[in-house]
Structure 1
Amino acid sequence: MSDKRTPSGSSSYQPRPTSSRTTYVLVGAAIVIVAALVIGGVVWNSQRDKGSADEAVLSENAALIIGAPSAPQTIDVFEDFMCPVCQTFEQQSGTSITRAINEGTLRVRYHMLTFLDKQSSSGDYSSRAAGAAQCVGESENKDVFLKFHSALFTEQPKEGGDTDLSNADLARIAGQQGASAATQKCISDGARVTQAQEAAKQSQVQLDKAAGQVATPSVLSGGEPVDAIMDGTAWLDQLLAQQG
């Protein structure tokens, strides 16, 4: 179902989550940071020039690629399953994204980041959830993956809470979305966690290159950031209209 490849590389970034009403940002310690006030919180931006992410590298290090190769529009979506703003993004745009994928007009390269691991009770929830998504993506069709992706945000543990979801819980949720027993075992065993962590490292590098920061949620089109993704689905409507 997905054109998934195993990435390599490393990153020295440390997480700096902002207000729960804005994006979650991961910034390099060597980068000069300035604070910019926005409604609902503070976003940290790099002062260095932004570039464009490498399309070939984005394709290589995407955790999962969903949608027809012939789709006229491709986007890169960067999320962390522990990020509450990503949950809001899924609530606002998830249905429209799924519809466009099913209609063959959109191809999505999902980049599941893991920098909010330390905000989870277990200390590795983001990584385990990303690994679970890869188990589903490898073995199931796109419908099961998209349902599981949405379900993980619906069942999202509270950031900084006293508990989160175990691998057995993640496997159970996958089964409820139609995943096979073999896929559930992959999740229970944590078989793709290391792979998910490596994918996240390379995705962070590309997102920082394109946007001057690592923030979730983020969307790239043509290797460049898409604006206003938290303001409903107009951003997606505009991208799909451009394909004509």
Structure 2
Amino acid sequence: MTNGSRPPRENPDYEPQAAGRSSYLFIGLGLLVVAALVIGGFLWMNNKTYPPVDDKVLAENASFIVGEKTAPETIDVFEDFHCEHCRKFEEQSGAAIQQNVVDGKIRVRYHMLNFLDKDSGSGDYSSRSAGAILCVSRNDGRDVFWKLHSQLFEKSGDDLTNQQIADLAAADGASDQTRQCIASGELVDEARSMADASKQQLSNSTEGQVATPTVLLAGKQVENIMDGTAWLDKIVAGQQPTG
């Protein structure tokens, strides 16, 4: 600093002013609006009602159905091929489910959801693998379905191409028509629509708490499905392991 001069102000046109009463009023009103929205949203969520589960919709939108129509019990299994918990569920209960189907004790409607699409590298793996299963459903039997279903869960952390899925299906005995259907992604959009419809019915049953894997019995959620096969034993025994 030279010649005793004073440093210039950074902004000589700026003149700070004390906040007026109107400023505080607007801030207060803004906070009240935010609080009202939060409270309103909370009350809406807690008072939201869900319609009963529509069994017809579940039947029409199952990706694959196995078991006799005359089986004593029908269960709905909701899974996502990109779901690690579903992989564990398949490892624990898959063989037992199959055996009880073969024995005529249960009928199973599999619903392949796709809300984990966003977590896959391709952004649509759940939908594409669900579309593949739908191709099997249209052209092949339960043995091909069970083999591919199990293999896709073994590779649940992968992001297979349609052709790779088709190759797996071919090794499982799928028909040429099925392989072509999978490789071309022919039924992916239909699988998405079916997943949306199934997801809505699951949401109706669980009051919006949608997750995979989930099992429904007569529209109600079955408890403790990740704790071995006791849940299935109870169903076969005529008990109701639901909440």
TM-score computed with the length of structure 1 as normaliser: 0.77
Match of 2:167 in 1: 172
| Amino acid aligned to 2:194 | A
Greater shift, 221-230 or 149-158, is seen at 149-158
Greater shift, 171-180 or 45-54, is seen at 45-54
Q: Deviations over 1:132-188 (max 9, x none)?
A: 000011111111111111110012225xxxxx1000000011111111121111000
Please identify the structure whose Cα radius of gyration is greater.
2
CA contact (8 A) 1:131 1:193 kept: yes
Change (3 A) 1:49 1:238: farther
1:48 deviates by 4.9
Q: In proportion to residue count, which structure has more helix? A: 2
CA contact (8 A) 1:79 1:86 kept: yes
- The answer to whether 1:222 aligns with 2:207 is no
Mapping of 1:1-244 within 5 angstroms? Answer: 32=42, 48=48, 52-158=52-158, 164-212=159-207, 213-242=209-238
Which secondary structure does the structure 2 equivalent of 1:216 belong to?
Answer: coil
CA contact (8 A) 2:131 2:188 kept: yes
Change (3 A) 1:32 1:65: farther
Distance 2:151 2:86 in 1: 13
CA contact (8 A) 1:157 1:165 kept: no
| Amino acid aligned to 1:200 | A
| Amino acid aligned to 2:201 | Q
Distance 2:171 2:118 in 1: 28
1:50 deviates by 6.4
1:106 deviates by 1.0
Q: How many equivalent residue pairs?
A: 198
Which secondary structure does the structure 1 equivalent of 2:237 belong to?
Answer: helix
Distance 1:31 1:139 in 2: 47
Structure 1: runs of 5 or more not aligned: 1-29, 34-44, 159-163
| Amino acid aligned to 2:225 | I
CA contact (8 A) 1:52 1:224 kept: no
Which secondary structure does the structure 2 equivalent of 1:114 belong to?
Answer: coil
Distance 1:215 1:118 in 2: 15
CA contact (8 A) 1:63 1:134 kept: yes
Distance 2:173 2:41 in 1: 44
Match of 2:18 in 1: none
Distance 2:110 2:133 in 1: 10
Q: In proportion to residue count, which structure has more strand? A: 1
**What's the C-alpha RMSD, in Å, of the aligned pairs?**
2.0
Percent of aligned pairs with the same residue? 49
Q: Which has the higher contact order (CA 8 A, sep 6+)?
A: 1
| Amino acid aligned to 2:185 | G
Change (3 A) 1:52 1:226: farther
Distance 1:187 1:99 in 2: 27
Distance 1:231 1:46 in 2: 30
Which secondary structure does the structure 1 equivalent of 2:114 belong to?
Answer: coil
Structure 2: runs of 5 or more not aligned: 1-39
| Amino acid aligned to 1:93 | S
Which secondary structure does the structure 2 equivalent of 1:215 belong to?
Answer: coil
TM-score computed with the length of structure 2 as normaliser: 0.77
